Amino acid sequence: MEARAGEPPAPRPVVRPLTRPTARRSHVPPLGVTATPGGVDVAVMASHAAAVDFCLVDVVRPELPERDPARYSERRVPLLGPTYGVWHAHVPGVRPGQRYGFRTYGAWDPRAGLRHNPAKLLIDPYARGLAGSLAYGPETLGAVGAPRSEHSGTPDNRWWIAERYGEPETTDSLPFVPHSVVLPPMPPTPPLTRPRVPWAETVVYEAHVRGFTLLNEALPPELRGTYAGMAHPATIAYLKDLGITTLELLPIHASASEPRLVAHGLTNYWGYQTLGFFAPEPRYATRAAQEAGPAAVLDELRGMVHLLHQAGIEVILDVVYNHTCEGGDDQLHVSWRGLDNPLYYLHDGNSPAALADVTGTGNTLDFRRTRVVQLALDSLRYWAEVVGVDGFRFDLAVTLGRGLYGFDPDHPFLMSLQTDPVLNNLKLIAEPWDVGPGGWQTGSFPAPMAEWNDRFRDAMRGFWLSSASAGSHGRPMDGIRELTTRLAGSADLFGHSDPPLARGPVASINFVTAHDGFTLADVVAFDHKHNWANGEDNHDGTSNNLSWNHGVEGHAEDSDDAATEPWSAVVPLRRRSQRNLLAMLLLAAGTPMMTAGDELGRTQDGNNNAYALDTEVSWVSWDHDRAALDLLETTKHLIALRREHAALRADSFYLGTPRPGETFADLLWFTETGKPMDHAAWNEGERRVVQMLRPGPGVDEADVLVVLNGLLDDLDVVLPPSLPGARAWERVWSSTWDTASQPSGDDLEDGVAALDALNVQVFVGRREV
């Protein structure tokens, strides 16, 4: 049947959801819309629907505005089914490039969780590409509502909130939602193109496609802020020169913004509101690719991955399978909610039904459901095989492992990641928490997964910043026990496995900053968050920053101010604190993750939750002053030290004893007198000086000694003797150095190192040839 967009959907016969299917087929097509030589195979999950239409959308009057219903025509094809909840058909004559969507018919009973509304054209959860944009108004809600707040007078800027158990909203949503697009089959990426960087050699760099490249004048203007810009030779040269092995991209799945943000003229810049788990975000493609259509957008993305691989750089995607962009019950109705709300979303089990939210976003995908697990796994395999990415970082990963009784490390989804032949050899990283009961699970995920280690972040910030701040005000300071546990690889968190210690320290993704939170420059310049630009009265974002402004809140306006009081005293200390944190990150056992721009002193002006700011606040600036260039060279130097010395790349947990075939213990600790740390020294609660000696693991590998002075006073430290077969200790770096180069006259005297207050120094004992 054919209808003009904007017309009410044609009546469909009422079919009871539990009516026996006319033919229970042994095979249905794969979920989604798959192009075949003669048409397309269609399959969509809608287990509670009475009927489903496959809707073919054509742009018949392209000169009309996007929201004008007369711009489009629509043909509706009734699907067969349901077969185990799946509606399906083969539709001949449909070619790649065709726009489409689904309409569902059935009960409208929000109290039972049922929200079938045929007036709403629904995005295919398996769509490989999307065309068009999302409007934020009553047309994209499922229920009749009333204005929640004032609006600007234009339909796209209005936000309406539905009655929780209201009547279905009857405006045809076709002109107001993105349309799914049929793409041609894509060949898998050859597996031999993957760099496959060993975990022990991995240095992760978390970046935003748009924010990292938008201001880079080394790129052609048309490539800034795009996938192509991310793979431009200038970008690749920067990453390689810095020493990055693995690029972790903030979400590039197609995404939407929260209607509340749109009403305030903001957008969800980070991209954690997923609109499609298979479709790449088209806004990050070049203008030419966007105009050519979703297939060209995908080609550009695949090309980005291929070029990064050619340069030896891995690509990891930050993926958000814990919730969708549809928000709470009273918000968007654009895909999953209209197809199968009780199946896709976690509900509280009460009557009337309400969503259970353990993600803080208004909804939670229900990973107790087989089809939800399948959706995530199918999506992961698609991005691994077709796009060619090297791994995934799972946002709020505890949600993905929640069963009937909370988080379960043996959850079917997590077991699948361990056993799936496509996925289990990729880099898999969990953000090991959510906001539900029992939501903090750092260390609880199974191998081969790695995990963000928030205990590392807190230990480093606590020791060098918040505790030092307390000491500057005459209060007690924390000792070294938590700090040294994290420097040694966090075996207390990641060593509990069967057999013990199997995961190794590489399972700890060490970080001191991330996209959410203060930047490195801000964590040493602000005691308090300054999130007023987010429109939430500074209530959003954590207040537990473990930061230290070193006496003055904020940054100096310019370099001239930095040379005057009080800045002339504060700024050098801040820069040293940044270098201390970088040293901890890049010299600790574990897998380091940097945040893009930290190596350049990027600031967000004290905003620790800039998710809604697609502005220069969030973008990386490439206009560098001398201090930024010095910090960049320091970062390169520390990464180079890690790369050059195997002693800094531990692949297994330290035992504190010699390993088979080796003479020395694999990790040694000393006091400031050069004597080994004993039980009494470890139990000095306010001890803030320690030396960590990591012997080279091979006969030709240098030993590395890291000396820490966390006191607020200068201190002479007696270095331990160099190990037999090694030359005398050579200082290769100090956090007091403004540059990576050693100042003239900076030599050791009689094995004693002079350490300034709050100082890290690194020494190398090279093997005799």
Among the residues of 601-727, which ranges form H helices?
626-644, 679-682
Alpha carbons 352 and 165: distance in angstroms, whole number = 9
3-state secondary structure 227-274: HHHHCCHHHHHHHHHHCCCEEEECCCEEECCCHHHHHCCCCCCCCCCE
Alpha carbons 46 and 480: distance in angstroms, whole number = 56
* Nearest of 483, 286, 476, 310 to residue 388 by alpha carbon: 310
One-letter amino acid for residue 419 of the chain: T
| CA-to-CA separations, 494 to 141, 233, 533, 574, 665, in angstroms, rounded | 45, 38, 38, 32, 21
Alpha carbons 1 and 55: distance in angstroms, whole number = 10
Q: Beta partners for 767?
A: 726
Alpha carbons 408 and 642: distance in angstroms, whole number = 36
Length of the chain: 769
| CA-to-CA separations, 309 to 304, 318, 509, in angstroms, rounded | 9, 18, 22
Among the residues of 311-411, which ranges form H helices?
336-344, 370-382, 397-400
The H or E element containing residue 583 is: helix 567-587
Strand 246-249 versus strand 391-394 pairing type:
unpaired
Q: Are the C-beta atoms of 197 and 314 separated by less than 8 Å?
A: yes
Which residue matches tokens 């297994």?
A: 652
| CA-to-CA separations, 382 to 128, 188, 281, in angstroms, rounded | 9, 9, 15
**Rounded CA Rg of the chain:** 28
431 annotated active-site? yes
Structure token pair of residue 62: 């392209």
Determine which one of 41, 258, 431, 478 is catalytic: 431
- Going along 110-218, which residue ranges are E strands? 114-115, 129-131, 145-147, 160-162, 179-181, 204-207
Determine which one of 395, 522, 599, 703 is catalytic: 395
Structure token pair of residue 6: 């904007």
Structure token pair of residue 357: 């939210």
Name the residues annotated as catalytic. 395, 431
